[in-house]
Each structure stands twice: as structure tokens, then as C-alpha cells.
Chain A
Amino acid sequence: MKINVQIPKGEQFRSFYMFFIIASMQLGVGLIGIPRIVFMEAGHDAWISILIAYLYIALLLFVMLYILRQYENADILGVQADLFGSFISKVLGTVYILYFIFYILSTLVTYIEIIMVFVLPDSNAFVLGCMLLIIAIYTVFGGLKAVVGVTFLFFMFSTWLFVLLIQPIRQMDFLNFLPVMDKEIIDILRGTIAASYTFTGFEILFFIYPFVANKEKIGKPVFLGLSYFTFVALLATNIAIGFLSPAQLERRIWAVLNLFKIQTSPIIERLDYVVIAEWMMVAMPKVILLMWCISYIAKRIYNLSRETSVYTSASILLILIPFFNEHFIIQRLIDNVSRVSYGIVYIYPFLLLPLVLLKKKTRKK
């Protein structure tokens, strides 16, 4: 397996779009549930947990970029091939594919569950899954240009949703935040760990890096993307804590949707229906980008065509989706995916760093 990859100029994109890629990868259905998850551990100090998560991930992104910059134009598969050899790199690539498939699965089933609970109780999970996967497949077949374009446009077309949070902001009770640092440090750190599932997604940097045209400027958009998401997560959590009482918040799984519920307009009364439908544009870029990642890894390590890998993974997902029809099963899936993500996303780059440095030193000699 080659360490560095040659990307034709037509497939490259400007680093400016990395902002939307990183932000869209982190936004998604996880955002809807984050206030309660963090609140359960860290109480009304949840915002501190989120800030800690932000700092940790910023450091992590720095490390990831540092690793990638040691090579000419490599992705993580190339780095692994350089460090561990071709075979282990293939094994690790397969682990990534499996992780991404379950990551997509957890996103899809959560969104489908929200649709079935709030909007269409009689709908069929299989049909909904079909619809969402058609969107992903149609985009991925358009190539990376289309994937980035759709990510960007969906981001643009769904950002207006945050305007709808004005009404709950006006009804916030700021006394809910006092006293600050009420909880133990260990509880706040637990909150950080609880938030980690929502924060994942930035690992796409490892795969999409070779496709960026002006790599020297990639740092800024990547960190701004992370900051944007952190800002949104802070906003959602803090409004939920201020707007809902602690007892209410503990019993609301999708607290963010409750915030949208009180907003009305003269033409449309229940805006939360529109919000859930519109959330398709928030949730889908993640699925699309991960699907592209799967096809990219499969092409790189098994030389599979895009059609084969995308159709195969889509059919696996379609078969699995109807089985995740109850909340606690879905919750277990999410727990397991996030447990895996601790290793793959949050710790692995730190293990990789000394090896890369060592390799660099031996190469110099």
C-alpha cells in the first residue's frame, strides 16, 4: 500500500470547506440529546464539562494535524502502513470501516426514532432508513466534490434553525446556573466523557486531509469548525438548563426539541415538526461523509469499486435498522459506539504520536 496518495486537481477542494466538514460531522442527532446527557453527570455546571471537552479535542486536533504533516500527502492508512506495515494497516482500516458503519447506524436509528416518536408514529423504520440511505448514496456517487457541496449547502440551509431559539432564550432563568462549580471535579469530568459521543466526527480529518488543496491553511478552518460546534453545544445546553427545571430536564431525552416546541409563528403553529424535518439537513452530512469515508477506505485497502462498497454497507445498514426499534436497544448501541470511539478517536492519536516521532528520528539517521 502506498503511503502518500496522489489526488488529481479536479478532486481537491479548498481548505475553507474544512470548517463546514468538521462542524457538520459534529452536528447531528447527538446535539438534540446533549443537554440531558451532560446535565445528568455534571449538573448545572455542564458548560464547564463542554469547555473541557473543547480544550481536549483542540489538543487532539493539533496532534492529528502534526502527525499528518510529517508526511507529504498521506492519510491515516498511509501513516499506519509506514509505521506498522501493510498488513496491520489493512486490519486497522477494516476496524475503521466497521466503526464507521456502526457510527452511521447509531445516527440513523436515533433520527428515525425521533421521527417515529414526534412526527410519524405509524411509519416504518425500514422505509425511513431507505429514504435516508438513498440521500447518502446519491450524494456519494457524485464524488467528493458533490459530498463537500452537499455538506456545505445543507449546513447553510439549516443554520436558520437557531433563530427559533430566541423565544426560549427570553424565558431563561439565570438562577438555574448558580452556584457555579457546585459539583465535584470528577463529576464535571464525567460530564465531559458523557459528551464525547456528540463531539466525535472530527476523525474524518485523518481521511479527508489529502484532498485539501491548500494544506498550509487547514488549521484555522478546522479549529473554527470545532469552535462553532462547541458554541452550538454550549448554547443548546445552557438554554436547556436555563429554560427547563432540573427535574424536567432529567426526564427529557431530546431536550433541544422541547426548546423549539414553544416557538410559534402566525403561519405555522408547531415549528418543532419543521425543525425535525429540517434536522435531516443537520444529520445527513455526517452519514454522507462517513459513507464516502467507507468507500474511500475500501478502495484504498481492498481496491473495491465505489459501487460495491457503498451498496454493501448500505444493505448491511438496511438489514440492521429494523432491529433497533426500542429506545434502550438504541441507547445500548450508542453507548457501545461511544465506548469504541474513546479508543479509536480520543486515545489512538496520542499513541500514534510517539511512534511517528520515533520513525522520523530513525529516518534521519
Chain B
Amino acid sequence: MRPVKKRANQADLPLSMDEFENKLETEVLNSQDLSFTVYKQENKQVAVFYIPYLVDSTKIEQQVLNNLLDMQTECTADSILSEIPLSSGEQVSSIRTIRNKLTEGYVGLYVEQENQVIMYELGKTEKRALEKAETESVVVGPLIAFTESLESNLNIINWRMNTPDLAMEKVEVGKRNPKETRIIYLKSVANETDVNTMRQRLSDLEIDMVEDIHIIKQYILDSSTSIFAQFVSSELVDRSMYAIKSGKIIVMVEDSPFALIAPSTLFSFFESTEDRYFHWTLSMFVRFLRFLAAFVTLLLTPMYVVATTYHYELVPSQLLVSLGESRSVVPFPPLIEVFLIELVIELLREAGARLPTKVGQTIGIVGGVVVGTAAVQAGISSNILIILVTMSALASYATPSYVMGNTIRFVRFPLFFLAGFYGIIGLMFGICLLVIHLVRLESLGRPYLAPLYPLRLADFNKAFYRLPEQTKYKRFLSYRPKDKQLFNKERAAKRRDIDE
């Protein structure tokens, strides 16, 4: 038995004012930070103590000190509690608890020779104002994004979805520095198995400390070897609201401006919140464009390697002339040529992301235009390849999710190596492996390729094409929500008839 533990059981109070101050200063870690002031009130000494940078000093002045010094009655713990108009007064008697409360932003009041310390929560936390989303830019629709403060995030969610149905379960994650994590979903809609799985995975976590939701994400993934992101993470409030509405679960953690949306399918990475605000024909067109873009990113440069290394016959004869002309000066085999240029593009992207905004643009232009032109003139690359690489890089940014865009660009590398290795057969081999990998993936135990496999035609209206909103009277059925209907189709039709 260590003596420290025994002392905790003993009563620390009452003490004289000097003893109390000494004891507190030895217990509080950064004792030079402690502000400890003693006031004389009708022949009694009252100490007010707090850590200045953790509390709101104007509030202390207004709420605590003014009322304390104006008190007419005799100063005791009880009278202070009844006189000071704050609701959060707590009576604490152990020095350790006092220490802990101080670091959480409490103010302590101690009347000499009493055996209770009264503590009020007057903490302040630094947080930034609500801003619009940076990583997911939208043109139409609400722009508001989450911030680092979980409190204000929960506030926003409650404000956007004010229904008693909304559940916000609390889980503590992290051993050294436990952080508040919330599982947010609609009780009557979300699938119970999914909620249980998520709760189980979060409470089973063995982590020292969580800096961001993306750390948690990596711990609770279904397959950590897969390069494909299995949960959408979004800082757009709108997107999370839509996810909750459709029966998904979102997870938020203190200090992270991102919400984790689970379960997710491959196709949910190609959705943007804007799709729902545009006219359906437009959003359908844009949706197809994105799928096409992903396809182009994946296949354009590998096809170039295939055509120039093995199968010239694939290229139509008119095109073959210009292709052959521009490639005739290039000394490298196509695979190395493509690899070099792709590497340049990746370097530009990485440099552009790391550099300050002002310099970044300049570097982008210099790198893109100058290096591209010079590479062709120096005979390091054919100009057709420059076009193809730029096009596929551009296409990869059409994916609304930055993470998925990066994944697609990364997957291209093994594909063109396979293409260089065994031509069109090698490329096809790569594509087959990709498809198999995607079939095998799961997100929170739900198939990743839903609704394509397992096939559910009713969900195609959400995942692939978008017919008018009136036709979408069902939720995303692949996730088996408890409440399948969004609205009653017949009743909606009837209402409309009457209006007309």
C-alpha cells in the first residue's frame, strides 16, 4: 500500500488559509499559474482561486466577486452557495478533486476553517468561428462546416435536426487523455446492428490518445490493408445531415472538425451534396461525368503504355502517324516515359498542397507549363502523353472526395506497371484484381459495392442516377434501415392532384 492512496481517504479539510494555500500549490502542477487571492469579509477570510488562462475572468468579476463582496450575511459555504447566482456550484472536499477541477476551468471559493470548497465552472475554451468548408467546396447549398469544438458541432447538429429521435451516444476514447466521442444517428431509422457494431468497435479501442477522427477511422476500419477508404469523412454539416437522414451513423470526436460517416459504399465517395440541389437532369449528368472521370484516370495512361509498348494495332492509322512522330525522338521505353511524367504530376500536386497558397499557384504554373513544354522539346516525353497525363490528373480531381481521388490516382501506378509488363492482358489482370478486391471489401460489415452487389435496383436511383426527388420515396435499402420510407408515395401523389 502506498501512502498516497491512504491520504486520499483522509479528510483534507478544514485548514487554515496559509496551510490551504501551501497544500494547493504543492498539488497543482504549474503552481506559478495559480491565482490565489484572499478577501476579508466580515472578519472571515475567503479565498478565490483559479488558473487564469482556463477561466473567463470577466465572468468571475461579474458573477462571483461582485456578489461575494456585496454579501450582507455572514460568510459560510451555504450562504455563498445561495447568494451567488450560478447554477453549477459544487461542494468539494478533497484536494485532489480540487486540483482536477481547477485544470478543467473551475473557480474555487474557500472560506477559512470550513470543510468544503465551493467550485463553479466558468471555463472558457478557445474555438474558431463557424466557417465554410475548405476541403469540400460546394457552389449551391449550405456552406457551413464543422469546427474543432465538439460542443459547437453538437449544437449545429441539434439546430439542423431538431427531433427527439436524434440519438447522440457518448463514448470515451483514449487511455491517457480520454476524449469525448459521439455516435449520432436517428433512433427510428438507423439499423441497430450497425449502431451496435460501431459502439462495440469504439468502446473496444485501445488507444493512448486521439488527435483526430482520422486516427479513430484507421483503428475501426474493416480492412486496414485496403487502400480504399471505407468510411466517408466530411466537414460539411449538410453531408452529415443527409447521411443521418438516410439511416447512416456519424461519429464525431472532440477536437476534430470532421465527421465519420458509416457505413459507406464506393459510390458514396462520388456523391456531392450539390447533386440534390440541382435539377435532376443536371446532377445526373454530373454524376456520370464523375464516374467517367474515375474511369479515365484509371485507364488512360495504362492504355497508352499498352498501345505503344505491345499493340500498335490498337491505335487507328491516322492517329498512329502523329503518335509515332512524337514518340520517335523519345529515347525511353513507354513505361519509363509514363512513370517520369506521372511522377512530375504527383510532385506538383504534393508541392502545391504543402506550399503557402500564394507561392503554390506560381509553382503550379511554372511546373505545369514550363516543365511540360520543356519535356516535350527536350525529347523526354511525347506531347500526346503530356495531354493524357494532364487529362487523367484533371479527371482525378473531379471526384468530390479528396481521399478517393488520391486512391484512384495511386491505383493507376500498379495498373500501368502491369500494362508495361504484359500488355493488355496484364492491364486486364489488374482490373480483375481490382474488381475482386472491391467485392471482398466491407464497410462496417456491409458490402462495399452495394447496391451493385448485392444487387438492389431500387437503390440505383440514389447511387448511380438521380431521377426527380418525387421518385425517391425510399431510403437507401442496402443498409436495411428500420424505417424504409422517406414519404408515402400515394399520399404525395394525391396531394399533388388536389393542388392542380
Interface residues of A (CB under 8 A from B): 14, 16, 115, 119-120, 123, 127-128, 131-132, 134-135, 138-139, 142, 146, 149-150, 152-154, 156-157, 264, 266-270, 273-274, 276-278, 280-281, 284
Q: Which 8 A-B pairs have the closest CB atoms?
A: A149-B439, A277-B428, A142-B440, A270-B313, A277-B424, A149-B453, A269-B316, A131-B429
**A142–B435 CA distance with the chains assembled, in angstroms:** 12
Number of B residues with CB within 8 Å of any CB on chain A = 28
Residues of B within 8 A of A268 (CB): 314-316
Interface residues of B (CB under 8 A from A): 310-311, 313-317, 422-429, 432-433, 435-437, 439-440, 447, 449, 452-455
Q: Can you list 28 A-B pairs, Cβ within 8 angstroms, ordered by A? A: A14-B454, A119-B424, A120-B423, A123-B422, A123-B425, A131-B422, A132-B429, A134-B429, A135-B429, A135-B433, A135-B436, A138-B436, A138-B437, A139-B440, A146-B440, A150-B439, A153-B435, A153-B439, A269-B317, A270-B313, A273-B311, A273-B424, A274-B424, A277-B428, A278-B428, A280-B425, A280-B429, A284-B432
Interchain CB contact under 8 A, A273 and B432: no
Q: How far is the CB of A154 from chain B (nearest CB, A)?
A: 7
**A77–B202 CA distance with the chains assembled, in angstroms:** 44
**A14–B423 CA distance with the chains assembled, in angstroms:** 38
Interchain CB contact under 8 A, A267 and B316: yes
Q: How far is the CB of B210 from chain A (nearest CB, A)?
A: 32
Residues of A within 8 A of B313 (CB): 269-270, 273
- Which residue of chain A has its CB nearest to the CB of B311? A273
**A274–B307 CA distance with the chains assembled, in angstroms:** 11
Q: How far is the CB of A126 from chain B (nearest CB, A)?
A: 12
Given the interface pairs A149-B439, A152-B455, the reply to whether A119 lies near B433 with Cβ below 8 Å is no
Given the interface pairs A138-B433, A269-B315, A273-B311, the reply to whether A280 lies near B428 with Cβ below 8 Å is yes
Counting chain B CB atoms within 10 Å of each CB, which of A154, A277, A280 scores highest? A277
Residues of A within 8 A of B317 (CB): 269
Q: How far is the CB of B68 from chain A (nearest CB, A)?
A: 66
Interchain CB contact under 8 A, A281 and B432: yes
- Which residue of chain A has its CB nearest to the CB of B428? A277
Given the interface pairs A119-B425, A277-B425, the reply to whether A270 lies near B311 with Cβ below 8 Å is yes
**A156–B427 CA distance with the chains assembled, in angstroms:** 19
Contact of A16 among B316, B425, B440, B455 (CB under 8 A): B455
Contact of B436 among A16, A146, A270 (CB under 8 A): A146
Q: How far is the CB of A268 from chain B (nearest CB, A)?
A: 5
Q: How far is the CB of B307 from chain A (nearest CB, A)?
A: 9
Q: How far is the CB of B477 from chain A (nearest CB, A)?
A: 14
Interchain CB contact under 8 A, A146 and B439: yes
Residues of A within 8 A of B422 (CB): 120, 123, 127-128, 131
Interchain CB contact under 8 A, B432 and A135: yes
Q: Is the interface of B mostly helix, strand, loop or mixed?
A: helix
- Which residue of chain A has its CB nearest to the CB of B429? A131
Residues of B within 8 A of A115 (CB): 425
**A251–B245 CA distance with the chains assembled, in angstroms:** 63
User: Can you name 19 extra interface pairs (CB under 8 A) apart from A135-B436, A280-B428?
Assistant: A120-B422, A120-B425, A123-B422, A123-B425, A131-B426, A131-B429, A134-B429, A135-B429, A139-B440, A142-B436, A142-B439, A146-B436, A149-B449, A150-B435, A152-B453, A270-B313, A277-B425, A277-B428, A280-B429
Q: How far is the CB of B388 from chain A (nearest CB, A)?
A: 13
Residues of A within 8 A of B315 (CB): 268-269
- Which residue of chain A has its CB nearest to the CB of B426? A131
**A152–B451 CA distance with the chains assembled, in angstroms:** 13
Residues of B within 8 A of A128 (CB): 422, 425
**A134–B437 CA distance with the chains assembled, in angstroms:** 12
Residues of B within 8 A of A153 (CB): 435, 439, 449, 452-453
**A266–B453 CA distance with the chains assembled, in angstroms:** 33
**A278–B424 CA distance with the chains assembled, in angstroms:** 9
Residues of B within 8 A of A150 (CB): 435-436, 439
**A59–B313 CA distance with the chains assembled, in angstroms:** 46
**A277–B430 CA distance with the chains assembled, in angstroms:** 11
Q: How far is the CB of A316 from chain B (nearest CB, A)?
A: 21
Q: How far is the CB of A289 from chain B (nearest CB, A)?
A: 13
**A278–B423 CA distance with the chains assembled, in angstroms:** 13
Residues of B within 8 A of A270 (CB): 311, 313-314
Residues of A within 8 A of B436 (CB): 135, 138-139, 142, 146, 150
**A171–B425 CA distance with the chains assembled, in angstroms:** 30
- Which residue of chain B has its CB nearest to the CB of A139? B436
Residues of A within 8 A of B428 (CB): 277-278, 280-281
